[in-house]
Amino acid sequence: MTACCLGKSSGRWRRGCCASVTKSLSCSHTLKPLVPTLFLVVVVIYGLADKLRNFVASIFIPQYHYPYAVALCFAQVLISLLVLNLLHVLNLVPLKPYSRSLGERLLVPAICNSIHAVMAMWAKASCSYAGLYPLTLPLLPIVTVGFSVCMKLASPPSIHISVLISILSGTSFVITVSHGLAGIEPLEYMYAPLALILHSLSLTWLAKVSEAELHHPPDAQASIFDIYYTQLVNQSWVLGLLWLLHPDSPWQVLSRGNWHSLLFHGYLLAILLLGMVLNFLVGISALCVSPLAAAVLHSAKQMGQPLLHLL
């Protein structure tokens, strides 16, 4: 294992810390059984962070009357860019300058992810997150498998895994529907399926771009952090443009904030930071493991809860 890891150490550094861990695991047969355990730990952490974020948002948005989805998503992307640049300055994360060619290839997932983020935030802000949105989330892995096959990924999900995930997702969907739904807004019938398609497409496209980078010379390859950083830059432009075109203008959003309250700052910062961590885990999962793994991570709670009720 030592010889294998040392022989590729320089290449791993360029691909980033997560790629280093992935290659190290592939070099050691003794560590491969730990991969499911590590993924389970990430799923648990993601679930707890998502629960905490939903709890804070359920207090912050109605109490301060701050349902500005585009502005919150834009601020979250800016916080993510700030943190990544800070880690780069501290020599903790190697980042290359923004590449126009890479940015063009990541424009589609950036647009899809931005629109999905706004729709998901709108659902939280309009108290619709208990309606059609969680109902469609168990279907995210199935749609992602479909996009993985259509886009001809180099490592598409195996037939056995695809069938298993499809059965689990379908069962969770049927159980949830059988319990009935209440309080669904008309817009959800359009937004929820569209958000599902856009999210799965962005995850699959990210993995496709990452695979394409492997065919470049080692010195010209973009690391997973470069890819994620470039997508964030693209998202900042997309969300910034959406905010300028939105009826809730930046001046209106900023003027309605309770900026003199420390609780307002605390709630807002908690929502942005937790959202940053959640999006990072999903994005890195798509780049390091597979789009299906990222989809399962994002929808694990909605897939697991109906099944646990049967036990």
- Read off the pLDDT of residues 99-155 as tens digits, 9 standing for 90 and up: 999 999 999 999 999 999 999 888 887 764 556 777 888 899 999 999 999 998 888
Q: How many domains does the chain have?
A: 1
Tokens at 100, concatenated:
């126009």
Predicted pLDDT at 201: 96
> Is 17 a residue whose pLDDT tops 90?
no
Predicted pLDDT at 131: 67
Predicted pLDDT at 197: 95
CA distance 61 to 67: 6
Q: At what angle do helices 107-125 and 224-245 cross, to 10 degrees?
A: 60
CA distance 243 to 237: 10
Predicted pLDDT at 155: 82
Residue 257 within any structural domain of the chain: yes
Residue 9 within any structural domain of the chain: no
> Is 28 a residue whose pLDDT tops 50?
no
Q: Which domain holds residue 136?
A: 46-310
CA distance 48 to 42: 10
DSSP string covering 200-225: HHHHHHHHHHHHHHTTS-GGGPPPHH
CA distance 123 to 129: 5
Predicted pLDDT at 76: 96
CA-wise closest residue to 296 among 130, 160, 157, 109: 157
CA-wise closest residue to 204 among 146, 264, 278, 279: 146
Predicted pLDDT at 221: 86
Predicted pLDDT at 308: 74
Give the model confidence (pLDDT) of 81-114 as tens digits. Answer: 999 999 999 999 999 999 999 999 999 999 999 9
Residue 132 within any structural domain of the chain: yes
> Is 302 a residue whose pLDDT tops 90?
no
In the numeric block, the tokens 């993510």 are attached to 80
In three-state secondary structure terms, 177 is helix
Predicted pLDDT at 157: 84
Give the model confidence (pLDDT) of 197-223 as tens digits. Answer: 999 999 999 999 999 988 888 888 899
> Is 241 a residue whose pLDDT tops 90?
yes
Residue 175 within any structural domain of the chain: yes
**Residue 291 CB contacts under 8 Å (≥ 6 apart), including other chains:** 144, 147, 148, 153, 200, 203, 204, 206, 207
Residue 57 within any structural domain of the chain: yes
Which one has a higher pLDDT value, 230 or 305? 230
Predicted pLDDT at 129: 53
What is the rounded (10 degree) CA torsion for 199, 122, 273, 240? 80
- pTM value is 0.86
Sort 157 into a burial class: Cβ within 10 Å, 0-12 / 13-18 / 19+.
buried
CA distance 97 to 64: 38
Please, which pLDDT band fits residue 158 given cuts at 50, 70 and 90?
confident
Please, which pLDDT band fits residue 274 given cuts at 50, 70 and 90?
very high
Residue 139 within any structural domain of the chain: yes
Residue 194 within any structural domain of the chain: yes
Residue 15 within any structural domain of the chain: no
Half-sphere exposure of residue 259, counting CA atoms within 13 Å on the CB side? Answer: 5
Mean pLDDT of the chain: 84
Cβ(278)–Cβ(112) below 8 Å: no
